[in-house]
Amino acid sequence: MDVRVIADVETMRALADPTRVAIVRLLMSGNRAAPPVMSAKEIAAALQESQIKLYRHLKHLTSVGLIRVAETRLVSGIQEQRYRTGQLHLTIGGELLANPPELTGALAALLDDFRASMSRDLAQERVVLATDDPLTMMLLGGTAVRVNPERAAEFRRRLHALRAEFDELDGDDPDGVTAHFLLGWYTIRP
């Protein structure tokens, strides 16, 4: 499944936990044509988390279909499951936008996951903070401005197109850099 529209509260609640968001993000990363298939041990190592802690999260994500068991194999006499994403992209259905508690929880977990990932990369001195190279320079900003509805719609259309372009990348360029992208947009009624 390429795009999953989250249309139920239970799936939205599953995304209200930063660890579960990190698992889904990890399994949705990489080559879009062949997303990663990982064991709990591999996921734990990638997220720098305890493998034991992840099992209940993996079970929860599997129960709502955000991830699925891709294969089961026997390793040293123990049955090991390997997981794959259930989709390449997530979108929140309009009916859930009217459910602020679940939406707020999922948004907080998404922002926490992005912050934690950036903090880890900063602590490991992997992020270029000051440079004249526009390819690697960190870009972070935010603003709020009043614009007419037509102009707001045009900005949103262009941001959506940029996100779609980013999502279409296969993410498998051997000479490439890893780019992290977080986009937020909302309007307030007058």
The confidence score (pLDDT) of residue 60 equals 96
Q: Using an 8 Å Cβ cutoff, are 33 and 170 in contact?
A: yes
**Residue 36: which pLDDT band, with cuts at 50, 70 and 90?**
confident
For the residues 168-188, what does the mean pLDDT come to?
A: 76
Percentages of the chain per state (helix, strand, coil), in multiples of 5: 45, 15, 40
* pLDDT for 129: 65
The pTM of the whole model exceeds 0.85: no
Q: What is the mean pLDDT of residues 8-33?
A: 86
Distance CA 128, CA 135 (A): 10
- Farthest-apart Cα atoms in the chain, separation: 64
Residue 159 has pLDDT above 80, yes or no: yes
User: Does residue 87 carry a pLDDT above 70?
Assistant: yes
Q: Given pLDDT bands bounded at 50, 70 and 90, which one contains residue 101?
A: confident
3-state secondary structure of 82: strand
Residue 150: the pLDDT is 93
* Average pLDDT across the chain, whole number: 84
The pLDDT of residue 33: 67
Residue 170 pLDDT more than 80? no
* Residue 37 in this model has a pLDDT that exceeds 90: yes
**Strand pairing category for 3-6 and 89-92:** parallel
Beta bridge partners of 69: 83
- CA–CA dist 19, 23 (Å, integer): 6
Residue with tokens 């968001």: 21
Per-residue pLDDT of 55-83, as tens digits, reads 999 999 999 999 999 999 988 888 999 99
